[in-house]
Structure 1
Amino acid sequence: MTEESVLQKTNRVNLLFDFYQLLLTEKQQIFLKHYFHDDYSLGEIASEFSISRQAVYEHIKRAESVLEEYETKLQLLSKYGERQRLLHELKRLVEELPEDRGSIRSITERLAEMD
C-alpha cells in the first residue's frame, strides 16, 4: 500500500468514525481512536490492554468493517460529501451573480456552518 493510499484510508476511517462512533462498542471506539486518531501502534495498544497484537488487529479490522457497513446502509459520509460539493458549487454561482447577493451569501454561509 502506498503512503498516499494509507493516508486516504486513514482519512476515510476517521470520517466514518466521526459519523458512526456512537454505534460502535466501547472497545471498538477506543481501539480505533488510539490507532487512527492518536497514531498508536498495534503493539502499544496491545500492551495497554494486555492482549496480543493479533487481537488488536482483529478488533480494528472488525470495527472498520462495521463502519463500512453503516456507511453502506446510511450513506452519511457520501451525503455529507455531496452536500459539500453542492455548497461549493452554490458559492461559486453566487459569486457570479451581479448586484446585491448579500442575502444569498448569508444563506450559503449558514448552510456551510450546519456541517
Structure 2
Amino acid sequence: MNELSGATADNWVAICPLTDIVPDTGVCALLGGRHVAVFRVGDASPRVYAIDNVDPNAGASVLSRGLVGSIGERVVVASPIYKQHFDLASGECIEAPEHSVAAWPARVFADMVWVAL
C-alpha cells in the first residue's frame, strides 16, 4: 500500500513540486475543468490544502490569491475581493456558512503536491 491509497489510488492527481508553492500562499490548478486553489501552509513542516478557487460571492476564480492566516485554530484564506474567510481544511465560509466552497484531500508524497478528486 502506498501513501496515496487513502482515497483511492486512481483519483489522486499530481499538481506540482512542493517547492513550486511559496510557503503560506496558494496556486490555481485546472483539474477536470474545475479551478482548484492549492495552498502550502508552513515551511519546516508544510501542510497542503485544496479548495474550490471560485469565490461564491464574486463568481471569480481568485481564492488562490487570497491571504493565508488563521482564525483561532483554523487555517483560513481571506478572499481578495470581499474578504470573507474560508477554512482551508473544510471549505467552510466562516462569516456565512451557506457560502462555503468544496474542499478535497491534499498531501505531499515524493516531494510532489497531490489532490484527490
Q: TM-score range by the shorter chain?
A: under 0.3
User: Based on CA coordinates, which of the two structures has the bigger radius of gyration?
Assistant: 1
* Greater helix proportion: 1
TM-score by length of 1: 0.26
TM-score in terms of structure 2 length: 0.25
Q: Which has the higher contact order (CA 8 A, sep 6+)?
A: 2
Select the structure that is richer in strand.
2
